[in-house]
Each structure stands twice: as C-alpha cells, then as structure tokens.
Amino acid sequence: MPPRNPFANLFVESPMRPLQDHMDRVYETTAALVPFLQAAQAGDWKLARVEQKKIVKLEHVADKQKRSVRTHLPKSLFMPVSRSDLLELVSVQDHIANAAKDVSGLMLGRKMRFPEEIAEDFIAYAKANIDTAKQAMKAVKRLDHVLELGFSKRELQSVEKEVAEIEHLEHLTDKLQIKLRAKLHTIEENLNAVDVMFLYRIIDSLAKISDHAEKVGSRLQIVVAV
C-alpha cells in the first residue's frame, strides 16, 4: 500500500488544521515583505534580491499547501461546513501571498523605491496592509475552537469580533492609501513619469493584501454560518 500523504492525515486530526497551516504560510510570505522593503528603500538591491527570493520560496510552499488542501479535503466532512466554502477560503487566502510576491517582484524588477519625502508614509502603509493579513490569520485560527465547541454562540461571536477587526484594519489601510497618494501627487511632477506610474501600481498592489484579507473574513462568516 502506498504511503499516506502526511498532509492529508491532518484532516483526520482536524478538518480545519490544513487551512490554518496554509494561512500561517500565507502570512509568513506577507510578513517577509518588511525586510525586503527596508532593503529596497535603502537601495541595497543585493540584499533585496535575497529577501525577494525568500518571499518567492514561501509563496511556492503556500501554493503547494493550497493544492494539497484541494486534493485531500474530504468530500464528506460530517459537520455543518460546506466543502466548497472551505475550498473558496483557501483560494482567497492564497491571493494574499500572491499579492505580496507581486509587490516584491515589481519593485525588484524595476529597482523601485519611494522618494524620501514619502518613504515613511509608504512603509507605514505597507505595514498596515501586512497587519491586516495578520489579523486574517488570527481569525482563521478561531476555526478549531468553533468546531471543537460545536459552533457555540460564544465562539461564533468571537469569529465575528475577529472579522470586525479585519474590516477595521482594512479601513485604516484605505485612509493611509489616500494620504500616501495625495503626498505622491504633490511631488510627482518632479519624478520620471514612468516611475510615477509604477509607484501608483505598487500602492495598488499592496492594497490587494488587505483587500484579500477582508475577503478571508467574509468567507469565514460564510463558513461558520449555521
């Protein structure tokens, strides 16, 4: 008999564990943006390349985990959770890691860094998006408790609280994005036009991290709806 996939064995222990492990890796990928961005802003492109390779490697691991979940998620879970909803949750989680990889690839490929006048605002904005992904990870961690306690009202309220915090943080990133865009607009006439276009693109790509994190929260609400 061929050996059983150890990742698949996790479904026997907890149907939610593989999804949580995937989200852990997604957040790890996203958090790896911080040292990359710091290297990029310092103009240390040798270090930035090293850090970007770490992001790509982590995203690849997350992608493999996503495929494992899709392959091994039982067709019958014997609980009030839709298999299709869980698969959709994994897909949305994966989009967060993809966004982080896209940001690092774009900045490294063009050796982009934000002008000193707005560098502090840019880093604050990036970290806010990453914090939103971290909150999404915390919310996904609640799934085990929901299942173990039989979808109790108290646990469902805890999930709602975690999701509300995701929405709060996503709203904060929106405000920081508006502020950053406004400051970029005031100095863009002094910058190369093509560079300006890509700076706005980086801002938009970072926003996808918190946007997808918010979608994770929305999918969680659907998963635990009974």
What does the pLDDT look like over 174-199, one tens digit per residue? 999 999 999 999 999 999 999 999 99
Q: Which two tokens stand for residue 40?
A: 């990029």
Q: Which residues contact 90 (CB under 8 A, 6 or more apart)?
A: 19, 22, 66, 69, 70
For 55, the 3-state DSSP assignment is: helix
- 210: nearest Cα among 182, 178, 172: 172
Model confidence at 158, pLDDT cuts 50, 70, 90, reads confident
Model confidence at 131, pLDDT cuts 50, 70, 90, reads very high
User: At which residue do the structure tokens 């929901």 appear?
Assistant: 146
Q: Which residues contact 94 (CB under 8 A, 6 or more apart)?
A: 22, 26, 62, 63, 66
Tell me, what's the pLDDT at 12?
A: 46
Tell me, what's the pLDDT at 78?
A: 53
Rounded CA Rg of the chain: 19
Q: Position 6: which residue type?
A: P
Hey, what domains does the chain have and what are their CATH numbers?
Answer: 13-224 (1.20.58.220)
Q: Which two tokens stand for residue 145?
A: 């408790």
Terminal Cα-to-Cα distance of the chain (whole angstroms): 39
Tally Cβ neighbours within 10 Å of residue 80: 12
Tell me, what's the pLDDT at 113?
A: 93
Tell me, what's the pLDDT at 148?
A: 62
What does the pLDDT look like over 28-86, one tens digit per residue? 999 999 999 999 999 999 999 999 999 999 999 999 999 998 888 776 655 557 788 88
Please provide the size of the chain in residues. Answer: 226
